[in-house]
Amino acid sequence: MSVLETKTYSGSFSGVPTKISLNTVAVERGMSWISAVDFAMDHDTSSEQGFYLSKMVIVVPVLVVVVVVVVAVVVVVVIVVVVVVVVVVVVVVVIVVVVVVVVAAAAAGAGAGAIAVAVAVASRSSK
């Protein structure tokens, strides 16, 4: 890290003379916070030293929330699709069982009353 430029401003605050120094610095990428603080301590001995930090909005937490919501929606959609498929399969099985019972009863020459009883028994057994 190196100091590129230093500007000093003088004024007064509540009747007390003040002096403010604005340092423009060049920082190599990847410098740790501790190194920056150490550098500042080595170059400024006043008790009023400090850093100006950006108030930039952090996008990463927002992105994480969006990803979590999208994943949750996809999981819910998959669960709904699976439930619908299971219900459709159960309904188709019941219909097939009823048709098989009716056809078998008709082939055996049973009357309409016997077919109705066979359908009722088949529908109860599939539940």
Mean pLDDT of the chain: 78
Residues 20-41 have pLDDT tens digits of: 888 888 777 767 778 877 877 7
The per-residue pLDDT for 58 is: 61
**C-alpha distances out from residue 125 to 69, 83, 93, Å:** 42, 21, 12
Residue 44 has pLDDT above 80, yes or no: no
% of the chain residues with pLDDT over 90: 20
Residue 11 has pLDDT above 70, yes or no: yes
Residues 70-105 have pLDDT tens digits of: 999 999 999 999 999 999 999 999 888 888 877 777
